[in-house]
């Protein structure tokens, strides 16, 4: 079916993103995997320029196990916590996004406040608790939040009037303000819908939403979803949506939300600002589930893009970059007709002549997992061994049981293709050093410390969602 991180229901009921034989996607927003079913559309016409795949179709630098870390439980009783964001107001509050439509506050006292900060459940498309990739997926506070009380969310609403018939739902990017009387409560009546994007299928929704160092709002939208391969209803039959710069699907988008008119404007240097999808910042993405800017160094933008049947990847994204999907899966050639067998050669450029940019991190299924979940460059103080290194993870090694993997990548050690070394993090006190949960997302506080958001359920149901802080 789909390989979003919430693939579909064939593999829990035949579940399977990783193995990709008609996957059942995790019910949290880990990006989806795709099924290995035959594509419904013909393969795209090949480009004349071709490039051989990297010499070895190897995973990357060999995986090793890093020194153990410990986890401190900071919140529980959630359903499907998918992201965490600190309030940029020195209040010490952490805001946890639950896929079912709630934002909860973890106070500086370490207690989870019982009353939701925001409840958008009535605005969401109906969610399937067995497994679903839709819901409330992103939260970003305005850089001047302490003064203007503005924040933004990404959620999946019912299909709007006028959308293509038979499509599944509509993505909304919406703005809210905090209540004048209670800083722990959003003003539910302040919602302002900035942008709506219709989705043909229920999976591959992306959902990351963050402000960049330039003050603009960045967010990701998957390629449209469906059975897989960027094919089918709502997908460009010749190139797929990832390579089609006339659609917002399969892209990283960027907008300026500080327009005096109260809506949004297009940043002057957006690469396709004069086209039909002027919000595009970068393209060639399959299902970029979690993204982050490094808060130190040169503030690079990390984008974790969920793969198809064989490879997971993390990209360092720059303005106007083309990251290959569906001509490539990671560093390897890809064809919708042979998803489990990379072609011997493929295009080195996109249909528009742009150079296809390879990832900096890549690994194969099922070790260390089947769905990459983006994290953060560590800039805290309690784990100095990770300073400047990218801490991320993988949802699980299978859909059958919660078995996520914590990972750290080191750019100072690379292989012949320039791919960074990846190490597994062993969890102290856990059997075999394994996490023992599905990984749904990561968070980073204002001190640079990192949190991992988990669940023991494949779908957004129950109350087994937990948030942990990484500690020595």
Rounded distance, CA 472 to CA 454, Å?
19
Give the per-residue pLDDT at 260: 85
- Segment 7-39, tens digit of pLDDT: 433 333 333 333 333 333 443 444 454 333 222
Contact by Cβ (8 Å): 240, 200: no
Residue 17 lies in a domain: no
Instruction: Extract the tokens encoding 111.
Output: 């207690």
Strands 64-78 and 420-427: parallel
Give the per-residue pLDDT at 470: 98
Residue 428 lies in a domain: yes
Whether 343 has a pLDDT exceeding 70, the answer reads yes
Q: Which of 449, 457, 384 is nearest to 74 (CA)?
A: 449
Q: Sign of torsion, CA 262 266 269 274?
A: negative
Residue 6 lies in a domain: no
pTM score, two decimals? 0.90
> Which residue do the tokens 């008609």 mark?
22
- Segment 80-117, tens digit of pLDDT: 999 999 999 999 999 999 999 999 999 999 999 999 99
Give the per-residue pLDDT at 383: 97
Beta strands in 120-266 (DSSP E): 136-141, 150-158, 169-177, 192-199, 209-211, 217-221, 251-255
Structural domain that includes position 198? 50-471
CATH number for position 78: 2.120.10.30
Residue 127 lies in a domain: yes
Residue 41 lies in a domain: no
Residue 36 lies in a domain: no
Contact by Cβ (8 Å): 171, 156: yes
Residue 26 lies in a domain: no
Count of structural domains, the chain: 1
- Segment 291-310, tens digit of pLDDT: 999 999 999 999 999 999 99
Give the per-residue pLDDT at 32: 53
Rounded distance, CA 143 to CA 207, Å?
19
Q: Element (H or E) spanning 148, and its range?
A: helix 145-148
- Segment 169-220, tens digit of pLDDT: 999 999 999 999 999 999 999 999 999 999 999 999 999 999 999 999 999 9
């Amino acid at each position: 079916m789909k390989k979003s991180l919430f693939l579909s229901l064939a593999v829990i009921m035949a579940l399977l993103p990783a193995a990709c034989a008609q996957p059942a996607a995790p019910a949290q927003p880990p990006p989806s995997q795709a099924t290995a079913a035959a594509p419904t559309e013909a393969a795209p016409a090949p480009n004349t320029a071709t490039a051989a795949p990297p010499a070895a179709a190897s995973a990357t630098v060999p995986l090793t196990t890093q020194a153990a870390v410990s986890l401190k439980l900071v919140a529980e009783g959630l359903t499907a916590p998918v992201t965490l964001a600190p309030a940029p107001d020195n209040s010490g509050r952490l805001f946890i996004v639950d896929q079912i439509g709630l934002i909860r506050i973890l106070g500086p006292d370490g207690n989870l406040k019982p009353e939701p900060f925001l409840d958008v459940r009535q605005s969401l498309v109906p969610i399937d608790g067995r497994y679903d990739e839709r819901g409330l997926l992103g939260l970003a506070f305005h850089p001047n939040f302490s003064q203007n009380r503005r924040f933004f969310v990404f959620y999946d609403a019912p299909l709007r009037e006028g959308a293509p018939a038979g499509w599944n739902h509509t993505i909304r990017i919406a703005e809210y303000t905090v209540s004048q009387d209670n800083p722990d409560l959003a003003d539910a009546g302040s919602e302002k819908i900035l942008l709506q994007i219709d989705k043909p299928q229920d999976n591959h929704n992306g959902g990351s939403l963050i402000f960049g160092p330039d003050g603009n709002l960045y967010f990701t939208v998957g390629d449209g979803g469906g059975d897989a391969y960027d094919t089918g209803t709502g997908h460009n039959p010749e190139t797929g949506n990832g390579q089609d710069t006339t659609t917002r699907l399969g892209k990283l988008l960027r907008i300026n939300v500080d327009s005096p008119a109260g809506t949004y404007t297009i940043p002057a240097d957006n690469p396709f600002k004069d086209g039909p999808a002027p919000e595009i910042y970068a393209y060639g993405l399959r299902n970029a589930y979690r993204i982050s800017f490094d808060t130190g160094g040169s503030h690079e933008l990390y984008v974790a893009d969920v793969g198809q049947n064989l490879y997971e990847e993390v990209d360092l994204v720059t303005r106007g970059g083309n990251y290959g999907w569906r001509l490539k899966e990671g560093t390897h050639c890809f064809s919708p007709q042979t998803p489990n067998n990379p072609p011997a050669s493929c295009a080195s450029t996109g249909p528009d002549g742009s150079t296809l940019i390879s990832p900096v991190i890549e690994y194969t299924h099922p070790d260390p997992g089947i769905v990459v979940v983006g994290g953060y460059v560590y800039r805290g103080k309690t784990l100095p061994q990770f300073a400047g290194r990218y801490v991320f993870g993988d949802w699980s090694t299978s859909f059958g049981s919660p078995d996520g993997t914590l990972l750290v990548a080191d750019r100072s050690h690379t292989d012949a293709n320039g791919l960074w070394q990846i190490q597994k993090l062993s969890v102290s006190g856990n059997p075999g050093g394994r996490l023992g949960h599905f990984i749904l997302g990561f968070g980073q506080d204002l001190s640079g410390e990192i949190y991992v958001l988990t669940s023991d359920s494949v779908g957004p149901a129950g109350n087994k969602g937990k948030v942990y802080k990484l500690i020595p």
